Amino acid sequence: MKLISMHITAFGKFADLDHDFTDGINSFCEDNGYGKSTMVAFIKAMFYGLPAYKTNSVFNDRAHFYPFAKGTFGGSIDFESDGKCYRIERTFSAKSTTSDTMKVYLGADLTDELGDVPGVKVFGLNKESFERMLCMDQQAIRLSSTDDMNKKLNNYVENVGEDFDIESVKKTISAKEKQCRDMASALKKEIVGVRESIKKLEYEKKALDEKYTDLNNAQKLYKQAENAYSQAAQLSAEIEKWNNLDDKTAQCNETEQQLKQLVQSYKNGLPDKQKTEDVKGIIEQIKRDELALKACACPDEDIALHTRIKRQYETFPTQQQIDDAGEQIGLLEKKKTKCAELESAQQGAAFSELADHFSGKPVSSETIFEIEQKKKRYDELASVLSQTNRKVYIHNDPVNVEQKPKSKLYAVLLIIALLLVVCGAGVLVAGKTAVGIILLAAGAVLLFADAFLYILGKVNSVQAPPQQEPQELDNPEYTELAAKTQAARNELVNSIAYYRYSPCEPDEMFYTFKNDAQRFNELLANNDKAEREYSETKVSCGELEAKLSSFFNPFGLNDADHKKNLETLKSDMVRFVTLDKSIKDSKSKQVALLKGIEDAKEQIVAFQSQYSLDDSFSPDQILDDIKEYERLSELLKKQKLSAESYRSSNNLLKRPVQTAVDLETLRDDASKKQAEFNALSSEVERMEDSVSQLDDKKNTYDLKNEELEDVKERLTLLGDVKKEILSADQSLKDRYIAPVRDKFCYYAQLIENALGQKVVMDKDFSIKFERQGEYRSYEHLSGGNLAVCALCFRLALLDNMFTKNQPMLIMDDPFTALDSEHITKTSQLLRELSKNRQILYFCCHESRKLI
Amino acid sequence: MRFIHCADIHLGSKLSSTFPKEIADERRRELLSAFDRMISYAKNNDVRAILLSGDVFDKDKPTQKDKQFFYKAIMRNPEIDFLYLNGNHDKEGSYTVEDIPNLKTFNKTDFTSYEYDNVVISGIEISNENCEAFYSKLSLDKQKLNIVMLHGDACDSMGMDKVRISELKGKGIDYLALGHIHSYKTGRIDDRGIYAFSGCLEGRGFDECGEKGFVLLEVTDTVKHTFVPFAERTIHDLKIDVTGAHDLYEVSETVKEKVQGIDKKDLLHIELTGELSPEIQLDGKDIEKLLSQHYFVRVKNKCTLLINAEDYKDDTSLIGEFIRGTTANEQYDDERKKKIITLGLALLSGKEADG
């Protein structure tokens, strides 16, 4: 079998790569990262496919070699096997195997003769075996060169993992058998224990059955005792109810007796309530009528008054006469008032005071004028005096004396300037801008000018020599004028003081005098007129007085005040009419009341005779008795109802016969039985809890037995497995090991020739080499020699396993431990060995390149 | 008027042979809870009576705790009648000695009847003595609506735990409320009536798969029945053929696809079948781990090795020799050969080294 060519469409880092293989050694010496391992993986993938991607697994080949640049993942390989040319074309999906495709061509035709896994058909090995047998890498060599050769030889043959050997499988099986035997032993013990528990629990279950009987009996006894107590308690309660009923019946009887006594206290029976209430009403009416009779009688004083008025007036004046008299009285009143006014106007305090000033004589107009002239003269003099300086000042420096008017000038200018400014502002506010500005400007100019003048003046005054104090002197003009004025004053005051006025300020005195004089003159004129009017009115009053007296005197009304007389007359007239009506009404009422009283008394007599009541009977007492009768009747009704209700609600039909039972004893007995039942019940519950484990135990027993059977079965199975594995091992040995040893010896000869080391394998596969005439253990070999030795084993195996169709051997840089001399020799050896097989040799360093 | 027909509740069932302890404990609690929930359902839906067609308890002599739970539940719901017929599991001793007014029972001597307006519910407990004779004792007023309660499998023969349906034809039965079979199932008795197994309320093991619940009967002038799925969890038994899987990943994907849509709170029993390449070392525990989101999963690997002796004809390795030798050994049957090869391969590949 040999590879012809391959085409990598996309696999790992390779894309669209073609390579042709040759017979013998195909050497690939490239730097690390070239993709040598990828090529090896590609070849494996073509024959065996790729494992499915698993999220929880390690980074496997499908994930590892999924093309970097995506694209179709796969390629094809051409090879020759048994003289036929095949082509395998495969594509792989990213994760699952389900979308993978594979086509196998025999020549140009599709074929299925290589099955689903062409590698198995072509090499007779599954993928794992292929990796072990046909792919050699550094690890394989290293391991084979450090571990037991004999063991490794078996491993290659038996196609198991590097850490596996038949001995360890045997050990594992033995350990598992022991484990099973231990488990079986433990299970047997457990089963015995569980069986014992089951026996105990079954015994307990039987006891529980008996306990159930006891419990039922105890419950019956408890129920019986409880019933006995309950019945006795019920009987006792019923008797108690009968006693209660008796009490209620006795209360009824007592009430009936009271009713009877009440009725018997009346000869003709208890009077009718309505009639009694009527009689009570009649009696009360009589009392009310009698009181009304007394009340409606006319008082004696009214009668006396009636009589007096009637006698005094005999006949009352007409209304017209009364009205006339009223008018006359009004007229008289007015006249009297006028007289009084006139009388009071003639005299008065003010008049007396004035008369006192002027001695009761009028003041002439000449007198008044004369005093007025005096006043005028005085006023003129006083005025002049006030305008005259009392003092005069004499200054030595005339300049300074003249400066005074200048300061006034500054002030005037300042005022004008300010007025102009204010006016200007006012006009501006009023909206007349031009005028306002002119006024303001003028004011401002004037203000500055004034200020300038003032400052100039000041400067001059500062520059002037110091002033002398002015000299003060009395003004002679003033002194003279003052003397005249005082003389005029004295004259005026004296003229007025003549009329008994106290001296004071001339103005005050003058005006007081003038007013009083004028007023007194007016009062004197008025007094004369009033005196005449008063006399006339007085005469008229006398006439009216006489008229009215003649009207009132015939009725005995002699009061000087006729108004009072008129009121008395009117009052008497009204009172007389009222009294007259009252006296007549009173008489008619009395007659009616007397009639009613008579009738009522007759009804009372009839009631008395109906119920044989003596005169001392009291309707209230009878009504109280009736009320009591009603109350007792109602009470009796309720008592009877209550008794009947009690009887029916308690179903008291027949009075039970009272038996002597002790309730306490019965209750104690029931309690005791209940306690016994409860205790038994608790015990049963406890036993039930315990017995409830029986099912579990039985289940456990069954499960443990099943488990034991499983263990036994596993033990048997392990025995069978062991037997079959050992049998297979023996078959393999029989079939392969002897030829392997022969082949190894053949290759050992080559080693001896190439490396100068004589290596042999005895019948127990122990590998030894000769040194200094002695066979020594392979462990003494150098690493490089061991690697070559391991290669020989691999070749020996392959020679035996593949007698006809020798597969290619893939060597992935296995000789890293060899020096250059050994590499040269080894490469010669490989040349020799590759004469009848194809070898794909990969290395990453020139030093290991095959020559 | 409404009734509930249920049966085979099996209160006190241990469940320990099927599930690990903690799962078994929880399922026991759920079994009790299912009974309680059913009573609540009855209260909320104006159900007049609950018909218990046998095997309320798992054992003849239930524990006090289970009895107390059951009878207290009845006493707490006096507005609902509980018609309790003993089955083959609780054939005696499960009735309380206490007098519970709303607990109506039956006996083995004769049919006992309870009337609800125009509905008459009759029942008898089947025993070895009456299992052939009870058919003749059944006499019903055909003018009324008749419900009959029995505990036994519907079949063509007579005997203990058996109900011969043909013997009940023409008796005037409108609805035959049966217990004993743990899955809902119905069939016809005659033109007038049907029989139905309500099944159990909760599946207790992998032999009780599928929907579980009770039957709701609505009685007007006929008896209308509806199955009400009521179990807290459903138990599924799946056989999954993984033949053709190239690796464990594909096996996992096949299993995932099959369990897709099953509620995570349910219980699963998966049997893997088919033939797998010796290279695929399939372990049921791996699949259980894969489905660990489910409440409980048990996987049994019943796959066999896909071994073709022809494939190893030219294999010159020890494995090839081992497989050829074992296959050729006539001392073993095929099953045995597959077991030997499976274990042998594992040992040779070092995978059984620590196992």
A798 and A849 within one domain? yes
Using alpha carbons, select from A238, A230, A229, A228 the residue that is nearest to residue A658. Answer: A238
Q: Residue A253 and residue B209: Cα distance in Å, rounded?
A: 80
Of A605 and A157, which is predicted with more confidence? A605
H helices, E strands: number in chain B = 7, 19
Using alpha carbons, select from B24, B293, B50, B176 the residue that is nearest to residue A693. Answer: B24
For residue B342, the chain A residue with the least C-alpha distance is A721
Across the range B239-256, mean pLDDT stands at: 91
How many Cα atoms are found within 13 Å in the side-chain-facing hemisphere of A733?
A: 15
Across the range A182-209, mean pLDDT stands at: 92
**Is it the case that residue A145 has pLDDT exceeding 50?**
no
By Cβ distance, the residue of A160, A212, A684 closest to B318 is A160
By Cβ distance, the residue of B14, B311, B347 closest to A172 is B347
Q: Give B187-239 pLDDT, tens digit per residue.
A: 999 999 999 999 999 999 888 999 999 999 999 999 999 999 999 999 999 99
**Token digits of residue A822:** 């050994």
For residue B249, the chain A residue with the least C-alpha distance is A54
**Is it the case that residue A765 has pLDDT exceeding 80?**
no
DSSP state of A559: -
A153 and A85 within one domain? no
By Cβ distance, the residue of A158, A208, A695 closest to B14 is A695
For residue A157, the chain B residue with the least C-alpha distance is B317
Across the range A17-36, mean pLDDT stands at: 87
Q: Give A421-479 pLDDT, tens digit per residue.
A: 888 888 888 877 888 888 888 888 888 888 888 888 776 665 555 555 667 777 888 88
Q: Which residues are CB-contacts of A98 (< 8 A; sequence separation ≥ 6)?
A: B246
Across the range A783-810, mean pLDDT stands at: 76
Q: Supply the pLDDT for residue A736.
A: 63
Residue B214 in contact with partner chain A when CB distance is under 8 A: no
Q: Supply the pLDDT for residue A692.
A: 81
Residue B353 in contact with partner chain A when CB distance is under 8 A: yes
Q: Give A487-505 pLDDT, tens digit per residue.
A: 888 888 888 888 888 888 8
Shortest Cα distance, chain B CAs vs residue A779, angstroms = 27
A152 vs A142, A146, A162, A743, CA distance in Å?
12, 10, 8, 16
Using alpha carbons, select from A704, A711, A735, A752 the residue that is nearest to residue A801. Answer: A735
Shortest Cα distance, chain B CAs vs residue A148, angstroms = 19
Across the range A601-616, mean pLDDT stands at: 87
Domain final residue pick, A691, A721, A754: A691
**Is it the case that residue A401 has pLDDT exceeding 50?**
no
Across the range A329-347, mean pLDDT stands at: 81
- State which residues form the domain around A766: 125-164+731-851
**Is it the case that residue A153 has pLDDT exceeding 80?**
no
Residue contact B349–A161, C-beta within 8 A: yes
| Boundaries of every domain in chain B | 2-229, 235-348
Q: Identify the bridge partners of residue B104 per DSSP, sorted by sequence position.
A: B83
Shortest Cα distance, chain B CAs vs residue A199, angstroms = 19
A109 and A22 within one domain? yes
A108 and A187 within one domain? no
For residue A694, the chain B residue with the least C-alpha distance is B14
How many Cα atoms are found within 13 Å in the side-chain-facing hemisphere of B259?
A: 33
By Cβ distance, the residue of A124, A728, A801 closest to B325 is A728
- Looking at domain B2-229, what is its CATH homologous superfamily? Metallo-dependent phosphatases (3.60.21.10)
Q: Supply the pLDDT for residue A399.
A: 47
**Is it the case that residue B135 has pLDDT exceeding 90?**
yes
A132 and A111 within one domain? no
B221 vs B81, B145, B176, B178, CA distance in Å?
21, 8, 16, 22
Residue contact B329–A724, C-beta within 8 A: yes
Average pLDDT of chain A, as a whole number: 83
Q: Identify whether the C-beta of residue A611 lies closer than 8 Å to the C-beta of residue A268.
A: yes
Q: Residue A514 and residue A521: Cα distance in Å, rounded?
A: 11
Residue contact B318–A725, C-beta within 8 A: yes
Q: Supply the pLDDT for residue A160.
A: 41
What SS3 string covers A683-702?
HHHHHHHHHCHHHHHHHHHH
Residue B93 in contact with partner chain A when CB distance is under 8 A: yes
A137 and A110 within one domain? no
Residue contact A176–B352, C-beta within 8 A: yes
In a domain, A361, yes or no: no
* B contacts of A151 (beta carbons < 8 Å): none
> Number of structural domains, chain A?
3
Residue B16 in contact with partner chain A when CB distance is under 8 A: yes
Residue contact A721–B340, C-beta within 8 A: yes
**Token digits of residue A192:** 């015995």
DSSP three-state, residue A770: strand
**Counting one residue from A and one from B, how many pairs have CB atoms under 8 Å apart?**
115
A148 and A36 within one domain? no
A781 and A736 within one domain? yes
DSSP three-state, residue B215: strand
B193 vs B131, B145, B196, CA distance in Å?
21, 10, 10
* A contacts of B322 (beta carbons < 8 Å): 724-725, 728
By Cβ distance, the residue of A157, A681, A717 closest to B343 is A717
**Is it the case that residue A156 has pLDDT exceeding 50?**
no
Q: Supply the pLDDT for residue A402.
A: 46
Residue contact A729–B325, C-beta within 8 A: no
Interface of B with A in 39-68 (CB under 8 A): 61, 63-65
* B contacts of A98 (beta carbons < 8 Å): 246
By Cβ distance, the residue of A124, A173, A724 closest to B322 is A724
Across the range A533-544, mean pLDDT stands at: 84
Of A746 and B179, which is predicted with more confidence? B179
Q: Which residues are CB-contacts of A532 (< 8 A; sequence separation ≥ 6)?
A: none
A132 and A83 within one domain? no
* CB-based burial, A742-776: b 16+ in 10 Å, e otherwise: ebbeebbebbeebbebebbbeeebebbbeeeeeee
What does A358-371 look like in DSSP terms, one character per residue?
A: HTTSPPPHHHHHHH
In a domain, A31, yes or no: yes
A133 and A65 within one domain? no
Shortest Cα distance, chain A CAs vs residue B15, angstroms = 9
Q: Supply the pLDDT for residue A180.
A: 93
Across the range B114-138, mean pLDDT stands at: 94
Residue contact A728–B321, C-beta within 8 A: yes
In a domain, A485, yes or no: no
User: Measured at the alpha carbon of residue B250, what is the angle toward residues B245 and B254, in degrees to the nearest 5?
Assistant: 95
Q: Supply the pLDDT for residue A357.
A: 85
For residue A51, the chain B residue with the least C-alpha distance is B247
In a domain, A35, yes or no: yes
Q: Supply the pLDDT for residue A66.
A: 87
**Is it the case that residue A100 has pLDDT exceeding 60?**
yes
pTM value is 0.49
* A contacts of B352 (beta carbons < 8 Å): 172, 176
Residue contact A124–B314, C-beta within 8 A: yes
Across the range B81-89, mean pLDDT stands at: 92
Residue B351 in contact with partner chain A when CB distance is under 8 A: no
Under the banding of pLDDT at 50, 70 and 90, the label for residue B180 is very high
Interface of B with A in 284-313 (CB under 8 A): 311
In a domain, A436, yes or no: no
Q: Which CATH number goes with the domain that contains A742?
A: 3.40.50.300
User: Which of B254, B280, B321, B326 to mutate to probe the A interface, most A CBs <10 Å?
Assistant: B321
Shortest Cα distance, chain B CAs vs residue A688, angstroms = 6
A81 and A95 within one domain? yes
**Is it the case that residue A148 has pLDDT exceeding 60?**
no
**Token digits of residue A815:** 């000789």
Under the banding of pLDDT at 50, 70 and 90, the label for residue A152 is very low
Residue type, B331: Q
Element (H, E) at B301: strand B296-301
Interface of B with A in 316-345 (CB under 8 A): 316-322, 324-326, 329, 332, 336, 339-340, 343-344
Across the range B169-180, mean pLDDT stands at: 96
User: Which of A725, A732, A736, A804 to mutate to probe the B interface, most B CBs <10 Å?
Assistant: A725
Shortest Cα distance, chain A CAs vs residue B335, angstroms = 12
**Is it the case that residue A714 has pLDDT exceeding 60?**
yes
Shortest Cα distance, chain A CAs vs residue B253, angstroms = 13
A34 and A51 within one domain? yes
- Quick one: angle between helices A619-649 and A166-264, nearest 10? 150
Q: Which residues are CB-contacts of A364 (< 8 A; sequence separation ≥ 6)?
A: none
End-to-end CA distance of chain B: 64
Share of chain A above pLDDT 70, in %: 89
